[in-house]
Amino acid sequence: MMPHPSLGGEMKPILALDLGRVRIGVAISDELQSLAHPLETIPADANAVSRIAKIAREKQIDHVVLGVPRQMNGQIGPAANEALRFAEKLRAILPCPVVTCDERLTTAAAHRALRHAGKKTRDTRHYVDQVAAQMILQSYLDRRAAGSSGCSA
């Protein structure tokens, strides 16, 4: 059972990542671990792991959820393998656990959501990754609240 702040248990936010070739979208939950919010977009370069570790320390993150883009048939393809390798790099440096979750089509869903909100694609290039990370995290939070995470440690 999860601790509850009103009962003296301390809850910390959860961080989620949408890994891309160029950018990594970052989202964070509230302390009650019920709502996801976009946080920032970081370059997917040699400094990415250290930047994520810094965020995890500064925000006192409980754990990190990394989206793994499985193929539509559920198989692990090149992009998913890259995400799993990235998860191992994170596990080696982060002060908290890293879990992976299937995140098929979240970037496409984020583009759709931003278009429906009246945003032009060229204006949302850096923000779309944060929205995709927010969708990964909100889905994870919702499944956890329903009793199933659908993720692996």
Per-residue pLDDT for the chain (153 aa), expressed as one digit of tens each? 344 444 446 799 999 999 988 999 999 999 999 999 999 999 999 999 999 999 999 999 999 999 998 766 767 778 889 999 999 999 999 999 999 988 765 555 555 665 665 666 565 566 778 888 998 999 899 888 888 765 765
pLDDT attached to residue 114: 57
The residues, any chain, with a CB within 8 Å of residue 73's CB and separated by 6 or more, are none
pLDDT attached to residue 30: 96
Could you tell me where the DSSP H helices lie in 6-145? 48-58, 78-93, 106-116, 127-145
Q: What gap in Å lies between CA 17 and CA 26, rounded to an integer?
A: 5
pLDDT attached to residue 2: 44
The model's pTM is: 0.82
| C-beta separation of 15 from 61 below 8 A | yes
pLDDT attached to residue 77: 77
Q: What gap in Å lies between CA 79 and CA 37, rounded to an integer?
A: 25
User: Cα 67 to the chain's mean position, in Å?
Assistant: 6
Q: What CATH number is given to the structural domain containing 16?
A: 3.30.420.140
Number of domains in the chain: 1
- Give the domain range for residue 116: 5-152
The residues, any chain, with a CB within 8 Å of residue 19's CB and separated by 6 or more, are 44, 66, 67, 82, 83, 86
pLDDT attached to residue 73: 72
Q: What gap in Å lies between CA 50 and CA 73, rounded to an integer?
A: 33
